[in-house]
Structure formats: structure tokens, C-alpha cells
Chains A and B, each alone.
Chain A
């Protein structure tokens, strides 16, 4: 049961082979047993989960259940959930019990009837690529406990990889769904900007943040996205579009699919074994009837520099709300109001968050705004235009998700720039606002490798189709870490 797909779980619940309470208890037991070593969850509340499961069982009995009703899920601790401690991986919010639900929570739990198993660990305020900036300590990769699970959605990735949950939510500002999915052998999807509501999702960089599913397969991701996506008047950037069934095209044949291979993603800078696995996946796609075409994203090398201006600029503005007045941490001892702000923020934020706030304050400042912030926004336009040109000759773009497999704990923690470069292939997608996925495509040195798929705006159903057909032909996504039967 722990390795079942969401569809199989749905069928088992509908056929009364298992109740939601039993299923939830099964995963809670696994969390109890395995989480101390992994640190994937920061908050578990069995009674709350079981209450939701009982409500789901009542819906199933009454015949009002949806496809996902009663299925347990792990929620990244960036989503405010009423009555749940919501920390965003920070001391600043270590004792914050949310008084309201994020739209993602309301839709998935309130409407679809998914059952929350708890809140997963993450890099502080989603700023990191290894889960090492969390106030609650690093998460360990179930494939190798000495390695990172990636970040910032590292807890969600580890939880699903170790089957502490059938699936999880993540958020992706510069790669935070795709990179941990790649490092933990999961399928993860970052939707087009504006498809999933950001209401109640603690803001990092508002023009880039987007939530999405992390699961074992493309099919699972499609079903989850159906429950997450949709217009929300509470998010001013939510797009008013007709509802979609993201699973509608899963089985479409791939004959004639044109795959664009950006020469910038296949040059130097990527681990050779990772590249070999990616090339093997592309060869498999050719067997499935796809053709490849070399494309160029000539400004992609500028995505990391532009991102580290834009994202910190937005973060410095967003995180100014943490001032020790209305919610969150307040220092014990302080003098005047300014001193209270300065001490609360100094003690409440970790080093990486402080660095990014300071970069943001600087690049937005008088005399530097044009040279940094506006220049970054102009480069953002060039990067987005590169994709517009590319999609004239291809349907989907492929390459590696991450330049390496999971690195060891501490390996990049002391050097922010090295850490930033681990998102070199994912960031351009966020700057352009496009949908992207990571799909398991093999192993290098015993560690998972992710294939990145990039689609045109609103091509989520197509990306899921492209991933699903591959997963019908290969079984990489079904491989589990040792000891996870």
C-alpha cells in the first residue's frame, strides 16, 4: 500500500478495502518510525490528521467523495493551514499557528478531501537548494543519509521518496520543486506562473513563486494539480482561465513530438554521468516517436545573475512584514521601536535570509536601482524572449534538471555562490513564468538523476503527457531507496 499510486489508493478507498483512517495511520506510523533519521517533517499532529481522515471516510460512506478524498498528503510548511503551526523553516515563525488556510490548503483538504499528514521541512523562507538553511535542521536524502535532498522543498521530497507520504506539495521560485525532485527520484511540476493561487503561501519572490505537486509519477502529479489549480480572487496574479483536467492527455502518443535541446544545457558544467542519463532518456523519447532539434537559449547564462537581483529585491520587500509586531518572533530585550525591529529580525532570521534581504535592499536603492534592478528586469525579458523563439521550432524543451546528483551535507553550505549555481538549469523557467517538470531518468553513482521538461505557457497537460508516456516505457520512477520496500 505504501508504494501505491494515487489512483490505486483512490480505488482501494472507494472499494472499502481500506479506510482513510487506516491509510492515514499507516503513514503516520511510518513517519513515527523513519522521520527521526530523515527530519522531513517539522510538524505532525496525528489527532488532527485522523480527524480529517474520519471526515473523509464519512464522505466516502455518504457517496460524496471525490477522486482524492481520504488520500494522505504532506504539505510543505510554507502553506498557512488553520490550526497548524506554520513555520516556513524559520525561527521567525517557529511558534506561529496560522489563523487561516492558504487557498491551496482549502482546495486540497477542504474541497478535494485530501488528508494532511503534517508540515514538511524546507529551507528558511524557501531560500536554499539543499534544505540546510532550515531553522529545524537539515533534511537527509533517503537515497544516502549523508547527502542533501535538495531544496527548498527538501522535506517534501524526502518524505515522498521514503514513502512517509504518497505525495506532497512544493513551491518553486528558482527550482525548489524540480531540483529536490531530481535529487530524490521524484516527479515534480512547477506550473505556469498564475495557475495555482499564492494566497496564504508565505511569499519569497512574488513574481516568481509558484506551487505545484511532488509525487512518484506524472499521473499522480496530474491528479494533484487538478486539486490545486484554479482562479482565486484572493491572489491578484491568479489567472482567470477555464478549469482544466490536467490528466486529459496523459495517454496521447508522442509521435511527431518535437523536442528542443538547448545547446547551452548540453555543454560544460554538467556532471558527465548525469548528462549520459539525460541523453539516454532523450534516445528513449526518439524510440517513442519524438524528433529532436538543437535550439539556443543564448541568454540563459544570465539567469542566475538576474535572478539573484530580482528574487532578493522582492524578498527584501516581502520580508519587511516580519517586524515583531503583528505575528512571529519578537526579541526578549530591546530599547526603542527601531531596536525592537533590528533585534527581532537579527535573531529571527538565519544567515542566508539576511544576506538576501540585504542584497535586495541594496539593489533597490537610489543610485543602484537602474544598474541592478532594471538591468535584471531587462535581462529577464531577453531570457523570456529566448523561449518564445525556441518554441517556434519545438513543442517541449529537455535537458538536465540539476548539474549534479545530490551533494553531501555541508559541501556547499559555506559558499552561497556555489549553492546558487546548483539551480543553473531551472531558474530561467521561473523568470519566464513557464511550466517545468523534473522526471526521474536514471542513476549516476547510485544517486537519482532528473530530466527537466520545459513547456510553453499553459502546457501543463502536454508536459504531463510527455512525462507519463516515458514512465510507461521506463521504470526509473518506480525505483525506491534501499530499505523502502
Chain B
């Protein structure tokens, strides 16, 4: 999984607290792309900046709504998470699942060296 680290955004976002005139700078777009682990070229970042600012203009309509006292709705059904007995229920399908990996060796997924 790609690690998302919200703390990187502190420096990214502290300058922007006014939502009515929100628009992303090119540098912000590049930082978001980096946090999402998507490489973008300068020209891609420019095109993305225009699109994202258009989309955020649409999203900004939400800011005019007074929602104080409204409970956020995360989900359509207000249900608690089911629990199940802690027993083995799956068969071993390791070989089948590893067969679709880009690179495996001796049952391990191979990635570039991360520890020097």
C-alpha cells in the first residue's frame, strides 16, 4: 500500500485557509501528486492544475451550507461492524495469488532495496 502521510500537508496547506477563493498553485498540485505517489511532469501538472481548480470550484458550493449540528454520514447503513470467530476459513492459495505479481522469488514479492 502507498503510505499516505497527512502531516506532509501541514506545510502544504497552512497558507490556504480561505475556501471561497480556493485555488491550487502549481507547487501544491505537484506536492499532492507526490503524496499520491503519482509522477507528474511540469506540463501534466499544469493541465491538472486547471482541471482540479475547476472541480474545486464546483465543490466549493458546499461551503455556503450551514451544517452545524448535523452528524456526518459515512455510510448508507448505520450498522456496527460484524465480528466472526477467529478460526482459519481460507485455503492456501499463495501460489495462485503470487502468479499474478510482477516479480516474485521463493514465495516473496520483490521490490527495490529499501534498507541500505
B-contacting residues of A (Cβ < 8 Å)?
96-100, 192-194, 207-208, 233, 236-237, 239, 299, 301-302, 304-306, 308-309, 316-317, 320-321, 323-330, 334-343, 345-346, 349, 354-355, 357-359, 361-369, 371-372, 374-382, 384, 415-417, 420, 431-433
Q: Is the CB of B55 within 8 A of A323?
A: no
Q: Pick the contact of B97: A99, A236, A308 (CB < 8 A).
A: A99
A-contacting residues of B (Cβ < 8 Å)?
1-2, 4, 6-7, 9-10, 12-14, 17, 19, 24, 29, 32-40, 48, 51-52, 54-63, 65, 67, 70-77, 79, 81-82, 84, 93, 96-97, 99-103, 109, 111-114
Q: Is the CB of A361 within 8 A of B36?
A: yes
CB-CB under 8 A from A306, the residues of chain B are 62
Q: Is the CB of A433 within 8 A of B70?
A: no
Given contacts A320-B4, A433-B76, 5 further A-B contacts (CB under 8 A): A207-B76, A330-B103, A374-B72, A381-B72, A416-B55
A360 to chain B, nearest CB (A): 8
Given A99-B100, A358-B33, A371-B19: A376 in contact with B62 (beta carbons within 8 A):
yes
Q: Pick the contact of A358: B9, B48, B77 (CB < 8 A).
A: B48
Q: Is the CB of B112 within 8 A of A335?
A: yes
Q: Is the CB of A359 within 8 A of B55?
A: yes
Q: Is the CB of B55 within 8 A of A367?
A: no
CB-CB under 8 A from B109, the residues of chain A are 325-326
23 contacts between A and B (CB under 8 A): A192-B76, A193-B77, A207-B76, A237-B79, A304-B58, A306-B62, A321-B1, A326-B100, A326-B109, A337-B113, A346-B39, A355-B55, A357-B38, A358-B36, A362-B24, A362-B52, A365-B9, A366-B7, A366-B9, A367-B14, A377-B72, A382-B65, A416-B54
Who on chain A is nearest to B56 by CB? Answer: A359
Q: Pick the contact of A364: B6, B39, B54 (CB < 8 A).
A: B6
Given A358-B29, A358-B48, A368-B9: A316 in contact with B36 (beta carbons within 8 A):
yes
Q: Is the CB of B32 within 8 A of A358?
A: yes
Q: Is the CB of B112 within 8 A of A334?
A: yes
B9 to chain A, nearest CB (A): 4
Q: Is the CB of B67 within 8 A of A96?
A: no
Given A326-B109, A341-B2: A354 in contact with B48 (beta carbons within 8 A):
yes
Q: What is the CA–CA distance of A36 and B70 in the complex, to the nearest angstrom?
A: 51
Q: Is the CB of B39 within 8 A of A207?
A: no
CB-CB under 8 A from B79, the residues of chain A are 237, 239
CB-CB under 8 A from B4, the residues of chain A are 316-317, 320, 361, 364
Who on chain B is nearest to A233 by CB? Answer: B84
Given A326-B109, A346-B39: A379 in contact with B65 (beta carbons within 8 A):
yes
Q: Is the CB of A349 within 8 A of B100?
A: no
CB-CB under 8 A from A368, the residues of chain B are 9, 13
B17 to chain A, nearest CB (A): 8
CB-CB under 8 A from A375, the residues of chain B are 62-63, 65, 67
Q: What is the CA–CA distance of A417 and B53 in the complex, to the nearest angstrom?
A: 10
Q: Is the CB of B51 within 8 A of A379?
A: no
CB-CB under 8 A from A346, the residues of chain B are 38-40
Q: What is the CA–CA distance of A65 and B54 in the complex, to the nearest angstrom?
A: 54
Q: Is the CB of A355 within 8 A of B39?
A: no
Which of B2, B70, B111, B113: most chain A CB closer than 10 A? B2
Q: Is the CB of B62 within 8 A of A236?
A: no
Q: Pick the contact of A337: B19, B67, B73, B112 (CB < 8 A).
A: B112
A270 to chain B, nearest CB (A): 19
What 5 pairs across the A-B complex have the smallest Cβ distances?
A: A433-B76, A377-B72, A365-B9, A378-B67, A330-B102
Which of A192, A346, A358, A376: most chain B CB closer than 10 A? A358
Q: What is the CA–CA distance of A192 and B77 in the complex, to the nearest angstrom?
A: 10
B1 to chain A, nearest CB (A): 5
Q: Is the CB of A340 within 8 A of B58?
A: no
Q: What is the CA–CA distance of A453 and B112 in the complex, to the nearest angstrom?
A: 52
CB-CB under 8 A from A354, the residues of chain B are 33, 36, 38, 40, 48
Who on chain B is nearest to A329 by CB? Answer: B102
CB-CB under 8 A from B71, the residues of chain A are 378, 381
Q: What is the CA–CA distance of A233 and B93 in the complex, to the nearest angstrom?
A: 19
Q: Is the CB of B59 within 8 A of A372?
A: yes
A279 to chain B, nearest CB (A): 28
A332 to chain B, nearest CB (A): 10
Q: Is the CB of B38 within 8 A of A323?
A: no
CB-CB under 8 A from A384, the residues of chain B are 73, 76
A457 to chain B, nearest CB (A): 8
Q: What is the CA–CA distance of A116 and B24 in the complex, to the nearest angstrom?
A: 46
CB-CB under 8 A from A337, the residues of chain B are 111-114
Q: What is the CA–CA distance of A233 and B85 in the complex, to the nearest angstrom?
A: 12
Q: Is the CB of A357 within 8 A of B77?
A: no
Q: Pick the contact of A194: B6, B77, B81 (CB < 8 A).
A: B77
Q: Pick the contact of A379: B2, B39, B67, B97 (CB < 8 A).
A: B67
Q: What is the CA–CA distance of A99 and B109 in the complex, to the nearest angstrom?
A: 17
